[in-house]
Structure 1
């Protein structure tokens, strides 16, 4: 689950005050290159390399825990590192290269993010993987509504085609409204703003600061990569090696409480907010520390002793459905809150549109930004024609891929998509929360219920992917257009860059997925690549088909409690004084360890402790170096996954099994 969560909202919005200070150092009266020159061959090559690396990293995070931190800032940093290294090498070889501008930096970042975003939100660890046979079996072959015919094994061809259709529809849907949302309404888009602040900072703060960040990134990238290589030697089987180190004793290890020495998750913890990491730890303690041991003692009373551990009528059913209850409670509350906020905000703007502005003056820097943003306009016909063409092709092709999803459902989905995409993009502009997953879940339940028992699961999961992809891509484009607006980058160049990145992502994301799918046991609850959201999404579809009869004994009452808990926590956060509200955990995040285990929460908590201590010791240095160090830790071990996968495909096993046994 992409980490555009509430925890980032306050942190990102606080950067707004930095915006003018950073941007106004720009010599904005200087010549801005035309959009055709902002797109460069070296930039596209850099984008492909960065996008592919981040696709593999994001896929690994998705298939292990389902949590992927926002890597946009990291991608901008890596783009800067890549081109600076490129130009330095050419300079030493005696070649003169063109200057590296903030516009080119923005292009590379946009293209790379568009590429890896497909790996994050393409459904490879959720609604698409939820269609395979293994997830069907884990959901219970005798479960009502879990039809044996509701199975579609992953395939490179149909997955790539599906992504091209649904993602490119989202690329065109909001083009006509870009001026309204960026220039007229002046929506903040905190993530896009934060990326612009970072890129502008790279190109104004001087080489000294940039060199520190580059050195920090390369140092921790090397350490992380070599550590991943070293760990591999001791992991002959899945229960061996440093990733199964009983840090707190064997009994705690059996309940998944241990530090698994993953630099990827430590780096992710450094990027995510303290609230996200503390919520993960709280969820881990509540589930594997309290609830699962207690429910396990009720075996023979609440559920038969003869059932296997991973039967949905056994303890595994409680793990899945209580996690679903938290996710739905949090998602429904946030969905209603953002929708109401959007409606109220639009109403206020319409009501006050004829009133004189309190500050009639427009700053010169803003005039320059608006001039560049509007001068190289994306023609209206491009958006309309693109949306129409890809919608028509989708209406024909998607029912051929998924016969259970009738063509008229696809027609209705694309009729509603523009309004849904606008609501989501508007809400994200105000709060930085991308609600695409929640729109997808609504579509999942509606289509599963309407289609019926035989085909409801497939129709629900496919329809979820259709709506979520369109809405998510449209929102990402608006975030990137905000970055373009603040970095004096042409919207045309931005759109072309986004299209290139999306096309590359539609190819590299399925390839990244099959790298893991063929090399490792994806979906195994005992293994490293548990893919928890595949099981969660399939069981949400079963709930849509069957209702509450799919739940194990006493699970419904517990689900009511956890759903209410999620709503109450959000209410307390929003309506209590800040000194109380800021300590409220994030229910959706708490639900992730319910299935995955506590080990990765401990890793990410370690990352948050490092950041906390670093800020206490030297806050200024921490602000500059934390993104670089975290990116290095994530990329190093993440990149080691490539040779590890190749070795696994070649049937080359690690030579040593390091394992701990009780005396």
Structure 2
């Protein structure tokens, strides 16, 4: 604003409208919108008027916001179930290959919009449409789908849970006694997830108003998803969404058919396009080395020990740096919020009335009014957390006898604080540090239990308990932010999160079980699905129980060096100018191919290069359609694993083996075949 007087007039004008709205509550915010748009508040200057015209909520001022029960439709949950299965397969495939999981919020919102919009258009033309498709229902679908597929990650099928298995234990050659091994079984996996996956939702539920309204945390992923969902339901946004879905479909089809085509040439070991020697045959032949011929390749005292523990040291260095960074920013931000007079002297919790918080725009007024309308009682959150904690403390030792009840109780005492820290940090930085909190639980509980009492398995189980709590807590707040910006009720958000989590607790273990039964070499280093993080997490647990004695010669010194290098590289990246920082690699991204190999790093490098060139040529087009292209490629490649798993279970094998040989080797093969 141009002057302080004008600011005061505008603020007084808003307060006047707010007072009128309080006298005559309107769940759709249309009262406020009409008053502002009709010029009832003459004190608002032309500049403010232009800002209001650009308001998101003004675009929807004539559309009624349905009550929270009407946002939870049967068609929404049917679409959520279908997309939940789809994304769970994709996340599971990524879990068991590279271990890197991209954000799927935007894809879930886009596909949810496309499916329901297509269905409602068909019903509308036939005159059978009873309830129009709203952005609130779209938000419910996105929330439910992300909650469902999120279990495929936090469930640990590519990390701590599969790390308990005998397949992974044999690769470490340490702590292979039966009390430190638990093979996957559909029954106990589903039971475990139902016991631990809901606590995080109740742990931060009373703090939703503090995080979203009082502290105004940004939650970048949730905000970006909300902007997209809002845009989908405008005429211009619907047209763009249609084009984005068409682009996603094209690249989905291409990726799926390419996976199908590749399958025909993988009849044996080392066959197929995935074994193409991009860097030359000589490099391919020496990709692993053979430094310790007298020891088994899986021994931690051989090359495997150096590869695994150096990768672990880089991950821990990267995790520690970001943990301190996010925690520091969280403490600084929290201190500032607590000192800020605008938040008042008492922080509101749950459904308690809050101190006066001035709204800076019509959108904020509207969203705050709707967000506070459907309260979720604080007693429900507290009693839910206590009840589930009691059930979990009593039942988890029956699934994992090594995880004593008092270990679980200690975790649940500290979990709400850690869940708040993770949710607050994610709101500031968009980083969820769930895996880092899980690693802390590995070392603490594993060392507490000790090797002779199944400390390795206890540490991995404790990791799962902690990861599920802090991960679902930050996911819930992200979804509350999305719901806040799309005027979706907190109640509908919470219910859809509960239903999505429940679906994920069944769908994810079933999807993993298909992989586990279809691919008998699952988890082996040279297999199609090596599950690299499973061995990493198990060896972290071994390290926590046995200490540094499990490391091979001079490995500790190398670990120190790479641990420090990870911290230094992160520091340089954060301190460098933005235009140069993007060229400095992330230590976490360096650590994974260091252990697993370069095959997926090359794919990502090529994809990043294509996107970089595309942005230089047409930035607007790249920003609009880049995520759709990436989602299509990821979805197509991921979904192909489902029919390939079914073919493997049915005993159908590829007909052709394609291998790449040098000229001399090819001559020898021809001579042999000719004889």
TM-score range (shorter-chain normalised) is 0.7 to 0.9
For the Cα contact (< 8 Å) 1:22–1:200, is it kept in 2? no
Higher-Rg member (1/2): 2
> CA RMSD of the aligned region, Å?
2.2
What secondary structure sits across from 1:310 in the alignment?
coil
- Using a 3 Å threshold, how does the CA distance of structure 1 residues 574 and 358 change in structure 2: closer, same or farther? farther
Counterpart CA distance in 2 for 1:358 and 1:611 is: 46
Which residue of structure 1 aligns with residue 615 of structure 2?
615
Equivalences for residues 121-200 of structure 1 within 5 A: 121-140=154-173, 143=174, 145-200=175-230
Which residue of structure 2 aligns with residue 487 of structure 1?
486
For the Cα contact (< 8 Å) 2:200–2:470, is it kept in 1? yes
For the Cα contact (< 8 Å) 1:28–1:365, is it kept in 2? no
Which residue of structure 2 aligns with residue 68 of structure 1?
101
Counterpart CA distance in 1 for 2:343 and 2:488 is: 32
Q: Does 1:218 align with 2:262?
A: no
Question: How big is the shift at 1:654?
Answer: 0.7
Pick aligned residue for 2:411 from 413, 423, 427: 413
- Using a 3 Å threshold, how does the CA distance of structure 1 residues 37 and 359 change in structure 2: closer, same or farther? closer
For the Cα contact (< 8 Å) 1:55–1:508, is it kept in 2? yes
More deviation in 22-31 or 427-436? 22-31
Counterpart CA distance in 2 for 1:659 and 1:528 is: 16
Which residue of structure 1 aligns with residue 301 of structure 2?
313
Q: Does 1:468 align with 2:467?
A: yes
- Using a 3 Å threshold, how does the CA distance of structure 1 residues 92 and 367 change in structure 2: closer, same or farther? closer
Q: Does 1:49 align with 2:78?
A: no
Task: With the length of structure 1 as denominator, give the TM-score of the two structures.
Answer: 0.87
Which residue of structure 2 aligns with residue 323 of structure 1?
311
- Using a 3 Å threshold, how does the CA distance of structure 1 residues 305 and 45 change in structure 2: closer, same or farther? same
- Using a 3 Å threshold, how does the CA distance of structure 1 residues 250 and 100 change in structure 2: closer, same or farther? same
Counterpart CA distance in 1 for 2:133 and 2:301 is: 59
Question: How big is the shift at 1:352?
Answer: 2.8
Pick aligned residue for 1:253 from 266, 284, 289: 284
More deviation in 485-494 or 202-211? 202-211
Q: Does 1:104 align with 2:142?
A: no
Counterpart CA distance in 1 for 2:558 and 2:445 is: 26
Which residue of structure 2 aligns with residue 605 of structure 1?
605
For the Cα contact (< 8 Å) 2:171–2:298, is it kept in 1? yes
Q: Does 1:119 align with 2:117?
A: no
Q: Does 1:243 align with 2:274?
A: yes
- Using a 3 Å threshold, how does the CA distance of structure 1 residues 374 and 655 change in structure 2: closer, same or farther? same
Superposed CA deviations along residues 319-368 of structure 1, whole A, max 9, x for unmatched, are: 10000000111111211222222222222222233699999553121111
Question: How big is the shift at 1:248?
Answer: 3.5
Which residue of structure 2 aligns with residue 278 of structure 1?
none
Q: Does 1:84 align with 2:83?
A: no
Number of matched pairs: 600
Equivalences for residues 166-565 of structure 1 within 5 A: 166-204=196-234, 205-254=236-285, 296=290, 299=291, 304-353=292-341, 360=358, 362-454=360-452, 455-520=454-519, 521-565=521-565
Counterpart CA distance in 2 for 1:28 and 1:93 is: 28
Question: How big is the shift at 1:150?
Answer: 0.6
For the Cα contact (< 8 Å) 2:170–2:298, is it kept in 1? no
Question: How big is the shift at 1:577?
Answer: 4.5
Task: With the length of structure 2 as denominator, give the TM-score of the two structures.
Answer: 0.85
Equivalences for residues 10-49 of structure 1 within 5 A: 23-24=56-57, 26-28=59-61, 30-49=63-82
Question: How big is the shift at 1:545?
Answer: 0.9
- Using a 3 Å threshold, how does the CA distance of structure 1 residues 25 and 215 change in structure 2: closer, same or farther? farther
More deviation in 336-345 or 24-33? 24-33
Counterpart CA distance in 1 for 2:371 and 2:192 is: 32
Q: Which runs of 5+ in 2 are unaligned?
A: 1-50, 345-354, 664-675
More deviation in 624-633 or 474-483? 624-633
Counterpart CA distance in 1 for 2:602 and 2:584 is: 19
Q: Which runs of 5+ in 1 are unaligned?
A: 1-17, 257-291
Superposed CA deviations along residues 45-76 of structure 1, whole A, max 9, x for unmatched, are: 00000010000010001001111111111111
Structure showing greater relative contact order (alpha-carbon pairs closer than 8 Å, 6 or more residues apart): 1
Which residue of structure 2 aligns with residue 4 of structure 1?
none
Counterpart CA distance in 2 for 1:594 and 1:536 is: 12
